[in-house]
């Protein structure tokens, strides 16, 4: 078990964490990034990315994250393949974190970039059939349903994108949405509604996922009309739950203020949390935009504010020494 000491400790390795690291390293803060269970974050379970500025051609999510990691390392960031399981931040800087490995990490500033994770419906059968027909990532698992019947649950951008993506593999895609109106961007809605291989089941909720976890896996969904209450079934081989995300803030419960959804609260327009020297960036503090580019932007902001915070600390130390 080792102790790792740095000026800038970053927890999380999505676009926010890596961008904070790139800026932090270039400001000589010698960052350490503790990467967590899914190095690279949500983009590593995506395929095509066509909205990250700077690339005329469509790029791949995992490739983009690989580039960000390499760039952060190239300018002087140390990557740790560990998962933080406890933090001690109440006493102010320096902040202490403990990894799953037993290693201890100490940082003069702490940047929280732990991101968010997919939400589940909590309906019967969902967990039991997880990986056996039920998934939260069409881009990861869609391939397994080549030529089969699939459904996507949700009405936001993710659900619509996943339904469209699944048409690469399946000719029978159903989108199940609990209302009669989609939340997704208009351009995506248009693509979805025009697609000959996609059917939308409006005003439907999934009451249960049915099938045999030990045998054939998922066979059908039990549905309930959210307006009339009428029950029906839909035969499917695969169902993709795409109903949004939950921020990864378990570590900070009772330690930092959060909103009702568990997102970390920051001073508006900044990445500053209620504890000076602790910054939050990316999806963990942003339930509105949640884009790779906005996460990267707030990561940059966290590093710039971290630098200012350290300068104030140095100044305070010099003053104290001069007074002795």
121 belongs to the binding site for ligand NDP (CB under 6 A): yes
Judge whether 32 and 105 are in contact, CB under 8 Å: yes
Residues 258-277 that bind ligand NDP (CB under 6 A): none
204 belongs to the binding site for ligand NDP (CB under 6 A): no
Residues 38-57 that bind ligand NDP (CB under 6 A): 51
Characterize 97-135 residue by residue with b for buried, 16 or more Cβ atoms within 10 angstroms of its Cβ, and e for exposed. Answer: bbbeeebbbbbbbbbbbbbbbbeebebebbeebbebbbb
The yes-or-no answer on residue 140 being catalytic is: yes
Residues 57-116 that bind ligand NDP (CB under 6 A): none
223 belongs to the binding site for ligand NDP (CB under 6 A): no
243 belongs to the binding site for ligand NDP (CB under 6 A): yes
Instruction: Pick the binder of ligand NDP from 7, 169, 178, 220 (CB under 6 A).
Output: 178
Q: How far is the CB of 219 from ligand NDP (least distance, A)?
A: 21
Judge whether 206 and 177 are in contact, CB under 8 Å: no
290 belongs to the binding site for ligand NDP (CB under 6 A): yes
Candidate list 82, 108, 141, 286, residue with the active-site label: 141
Cα separation of 219 and 175, whole Å?
Answer: 16
Instruction: Pick the binder of ligand NDP from 24, 154, 238, 277 (CB under 6 A).
Output: 154
Task: Kindly report the three-state secondary structure assignment for every residue of 152-220.
Answer: EECCCHHHHHHHHHHCCCCCEEEEECCCCCCCCCHHHHHHHHHCCCEEEECCEEEEEEEEECCCCEEEE
221 belongs to the binding site for ligand NDP (CB under 6 A): no
The yes-or-no answer on residue 141 being catalytic is: yes
Q: Specify the 3-state DSSP secondary structure of 53.
A: coil
Of 22-30, 148-156, 213-221, 302-310, the segment contacting ligand NDP by CB under 6 A is 148-156
224 belongs to the binding site for ligand NDP (CB under 6 A): no
Bridge-based pairing state of the strands 95-99 and 84-88: antiparallel
Q: How far is the CB of 102 from ligand NDP (least distance, A)?
A: 35
Judge whether 97 and 9 are in contact, CB under 8 Å: yes
Nearer to ligand NDP, 107 or 156 (CB): 156
Residue 221 burial (CB count, 10 A): 27
The yes-or-no answer on residue 108 being catalytic is: no
Please provide residue 79's backbone torsions phi and psi, each rounded to the nearest 5 degrees. -95, 135
Judge whether 190 and 104 are in contact, CB under 8 Å: no
Binding site for ligand NDP (CB under 6 A): 51, 121, 154-159, 161, 178-179, 183, 205, 243-245, 290
Query: Could you list the active site residues?
Result: 137, 140-141
């Amino acid at each position: 078990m080792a102790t790792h000491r740095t000026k800038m400790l970053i927890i999380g390795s999505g676009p926010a964490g890596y961008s904070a690291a790139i800026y932090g390293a270039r400001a000589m803060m010698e960052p350490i990034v503790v990467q967590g269970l899914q190095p690279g974050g949500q983009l590593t379970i995506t395929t095509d990315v066509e909205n990250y500025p700077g690339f005329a051609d469509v790029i791949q999510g995992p490739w983009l994250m690989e580039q960000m990691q390499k760039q952060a390392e190239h300018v002087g960031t140390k990557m740790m393949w560990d998962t933080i399981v406890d933090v001690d931040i109440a006493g102010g800087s320096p902040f202490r974190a403990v990894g799953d490995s037993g290693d201890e990490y100490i940082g003069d500033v702490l940047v929280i970039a732990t991101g968010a994770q997919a939400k589940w419906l909590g309906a019967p059968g969902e967990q039991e059939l997880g990986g056996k027909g039920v998934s939260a990532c069409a881009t990861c698992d869609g391939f397994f349903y080549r030529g089969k019947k699939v459904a996507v649950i949700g009405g936001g951008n993710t659900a619509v994108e996943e339904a469209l993506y699944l048409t690469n593999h399946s000719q029978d895609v159903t989108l199940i949405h609990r209302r009669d109106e989609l939340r997704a961007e208009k351009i995506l809605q248009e693509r979805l509604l025009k697609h000959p291989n996609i059917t939308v089941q409006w005003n439907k909720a999934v009451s249960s996922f049915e099938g045999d976890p030990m045998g054939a896996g998922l066979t059908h969904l039990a549905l309930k009309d959210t307006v009339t209450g009428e029950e029906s079934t839909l035969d499917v081989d695969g169902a993709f739950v795409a109903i949004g995300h939950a921020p990864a803030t378990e570590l900070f419960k009772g330690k930092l203020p959060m909103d009702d959804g568990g997102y970390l609260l920051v001073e508006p327009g900044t990445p500053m949390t209620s504890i000076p020297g602790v910054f939050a960036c990316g999806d963990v503090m942003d339930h509105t935009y949640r884009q790779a580019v906005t996460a990267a932007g707030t990561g940059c902001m966290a590093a710039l504010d971290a630098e200012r915070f350290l300068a104030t600390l140095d100044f305070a130390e010099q003053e104290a020494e001069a007074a002795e």
